[in-house]
Amino acid sequence: MAAMKLKRFDDMNCSLAQTLDVIGERWTLLILRDAFFGARRFSEFQRSLGVAKNILSTRLNRLVDEGILQRSAGADGGHPEYRLTEKGLALQPVLLAMTHWGDRYRPHPGGKRLEFVERSSGKPIRPMTVLNHAGKPLKPMDVKAVAGPALDDDWHAQWLSKPRGN
């Protein structure tokens, strides 16, 4: 079976498409997960994920090229290490939101697989949610998108103008 070539979204004027172009591939998300859990070396990622070395190498290089991971000489001066940059750390809420969704809609019969807690208190964090400017949780129907100054695509603008009835 031939490998599927994924469409790139570089030319799409959409923030979500631009994000997916960088981190939307499933191995990439798992690499990021492992980086947040402390994986630093190629061998640690490979052992944890069981992904083919060529795929892992390609994904790590892309994350470095995008400024999400920084590659540096290992502490022992040998094998390189990969560390999350500020840009990479900013993806934490994305990964937490996806994990919380999985806990809710793809639960394990034995309970939560992981519990995320605040380091200083040890208390569980709240599930990720959308908050208004004053910190009040919002439901999906409480939020709408409006065109920003960079939106020039008529197709997207047409979707923004339609009322939603969910």
CATH number at residue 62: 1.10.10.10
State the residue range of the domain holding 118. Answer: 92-139
Q: Report how far Cα 13 is from the mean position of its chain's Cα atoms.
A: 19
Question: Are β-strands 69-72 and 81-84 bridged in parallel, bridged antiparallel, or unpaired?
Answer: antiparallel
**Residues 83 and 127 grouped into a single domain:** no
In a domain, 123, yes or no: yes
**Residues 53 and 97 grouped into a single domain:** no
**Residues 99 and 112 grouped into a single domain:** yes
Please count the other Cβ atoms lying within 10 Å of the Cβ belonging to residue 95. Answer: 17
pLDDT single digits (tens) 27-84: 999 999 999 999 999 999 999 999 999 999 999 999 999 999 999 987 777 789 999 9
**Residues 59 and 83 grouped into a single domain:** yes
**Residues 96 and 119 grouped into a single domain:** yes
**Residues 76 and 102 grouped into a single domain:** no
Full-model pTM: 0.85
